Amino acid sequence: MKANVLVVIKIVVFINCLALIIIGQKTAGKLELGIMLIGLAGLLGLLYDYNRKYI
């Protein structure tokens, strides 16, 4: 049960991070760059969490 909840949370975070990146690409500016960097940091965090068990 706990593992299923974590998978759902990770999927929701992944979708939100992708949405931040896509929204940030619509226009150019410092605010949009910050939005994209937050999305990228989220994706890198998910990747780190996935690879942590293989280290």
Q: Is residue 27 scored above 90 in pLDDT?
A: no
- Phi-psi group of 2: left, alpha or beta (phi > 0 → left; psi -120 to 50 → alpha; rest → beta): alpha
What confidence score (pLDDT) does residue 37 get? 97
Tokens describing residue 10: 């990770």
What span, in angstroms and rounded, lies between the C-alpha atoms of 36 and 22? 8
What are 37-52's pLDDT values in tens digits? 999 999 999 999 999 9
What confidence score (pLDDT) does residue 55 get? 83
What confidence score (pLDDT) does residue 3 get? 87
What are 7-22's pLDDT values in tens digits? 999 999 999 999 999 9
